[in-house]
Amino acid sequence: MSSVDKSARRRWWALALIAAAQFMVIMDTSIIGVALPRIQADLGFSQENLSWVFNAYVVAFGGLLLLGGKLSDLLGARRMFTTGWLVLLVGSVVAGAAGEIWVELLGRAVQGAGAALIAPSALTLLMMLFGSEPAQLGKALAVYGAAAPAGGTAGVFLGGVITEYLSWPWVFYINVPIAVIALIAIPALMPAGAAQRGSTDLLGAITVTAGLAVAVYAVVRAPEAGWASVETIVGLIAAVVLLGAFLLIQAKRKAPLVRLGIFRTPRLGAANIAQLLLGGAWIPMWFFLNLYLQQVLGLGAFASGSALLPMTTAIMVLMVVVAPRLTARFGVKPMVVTGLVVLAAGLGWLALVRPDGNYWVDVLPASLVAATGMALAFIPSLGTAISSARPEEGGLASGIVNTSYQIGSALGLAAMTALAASYGAGQLGDADALTTGVSAAFVGAAGIAIVGALVAAGTLRGNRAAAPDAGREPANV
């Protein structure tokens, strides 16, 4: 085998590891869902604070992604990719071995911190490996993009299998052998890259993470405390103050965590808003669809996870095979707008679910429509957000787009949970009330998708794909 063939083969193995990393960091947000009742019983969580087994991961992940992107640019993507896997491994061991609530939440937060280092450095490595060949870069981004929804759905499926046939700590321990394999493979597969000079802006990282954490906490608590309560209002005000302080710090520092001028880059801001609203619509759909399958249709954990496999398969095929070709033909803007509209249509169809419905009529066709919309919008908006930045800010752009999606997911799920609860989704055992609440959440998520389509139509520039500039516009390929 020639040296060229070996290099190409190694590059695609590297892509497999990068996609596996994205699969893992997203899977860790969903794999704990089925296990939560067992975790609650063993560790003594109250119904109120049980949600923080999920939120501790998402808040740490979303809040530290910008710092992870900055560190990837400053210290080198391969180094941060390796560090992220080490941190994820430690957090997984702590979460699995936890015997007390605070230890469990600490482990989940450490997992989220590891994911925040892995995700932006993975995208930077992808650009380093494929950025010089736009045609190959489009395929690589499609594989990477398919790993995210696959990880989310696989988490539900694996969580059910592991919880039913092993025990809940193994939803965390499953990360350990994968992390070990990744750490062994990284030196052989990943390009080293060069470090840069600069500061890390820890104060900026603290304020943005705290601001996002307080915002998510206030929204999550609002259904119980009340949207007009002092707790909710003070929390939201505190979040605004912290995020405002973050922006002020970024404007004043010579070496900020986020160069605010990056948002003047054509299409970057618009693509990130599309990703934020896409996450805000998609994650509530996944959450409440699983709720409907288990609590209304009566499927078990294993059967519920299996029922989501057709949707996952459709997303992966569409992202890898169809979305890149359609984007090349029609351009970014039409694809993102169309994808969000199709996602809204699928959610609207899901809103027609019945208390006495069945999977084949009420779930499967509508979920496939929603999956089509997700696949069409995700790839072009992700590629545009990454490729619009300067090459030396690739890690930062990756951190921003991942932050947008994660925070959109957290806030969208919190808001739709509040909406569903107001329509009766909290009345366990009452199929009619549960279905009404779930339907309301689907309608609300469809509204988020429609807003996303309108915003994308008004802010994304250009309808047709432009010619790539030295491989720096992969979303247009």
pLDDT in tens, 336-365: 999 999 999 999 999 999 998 888 998 999
Of the three residues 232, 256, 280, the one that is the final residue of a domain is 256
What confidence score (pLDDT) does residue 433 get? 85
* 187 & 219 share domain: no
* 328 & 375 share domain: yes
* 188 & 292 share domain: yes
- CB neighbourhood size of 230 (10 A): 9
* 235 & 171 share domain: no
* 214 & 328 share domain: no
Average pLDDT, the chain: 81
Tally the domains of the chain.
Answer: 2
* 231 & 273 share domain: no
The answer on pLDDT for 4 being more than 60 is: no
DSSP for 286-341, please give it.
Answer: HHHHHHIIIIIS---HHHHHHHTHHHHHHHHHIIIIIHHHHHHHH-HHHHHHHHHH
* 406 & 269 share domain: yes
Range of the domain at 205: 201-256
Q: What's the alpha-carbon Rg for the chain, to the nearest Å?
A: 21
The candidate with the shortest Cα–Cα distance to 175, out of 18, 61, 24, 59, is: 24
Dist CA 445 CA 27 (whole Å) = 21
* 329 CB-contact burial (10 Å; exposed 0-12 / middle 13-18 / buried 19+): exposed
Contacts of residue 52, Cβ cutoff 8 Å, sequence gap at least 6 = 105, 108
Tokens of 156: 């539900």
Render pLDDT for 90-130 as a digit per residue (tens, 0 to 9): 999 999 999 888 899 999 999 999 998 998 888 788 888 88
Of the three residues 233, 256, 279, the one that is the final residue of a domain is 256
* 23 & 78 share domain: yes
The candidate with the shortest Cα–Cα distance to 151, out of 61, 278, 24, is: 24
* 232 & 279 share domain: no
What confidence score (pLDDT) does residue 244 get? 92
What confidence score (pLDDT) does residue 391 get? 64
Domain CATH for 423: 1.20.1250.20
Of the three residues 240, 256, 272, the one that is the final residue of a domain is 256
* 179 & 36 share domain: yes
* 241 & 335 share domain: no
The candidate with the shortest Cα–Cα distance to 382, out of 257, 465, 274, is: 274
* 346 & 360 share domain: yes
At which residue do the structure tokens 């090349």 appear?
328
Dist CA 102 CA 115 (whole Å) = 20
- Residue 460 near residue 476, CB atoms below 8 Å: no
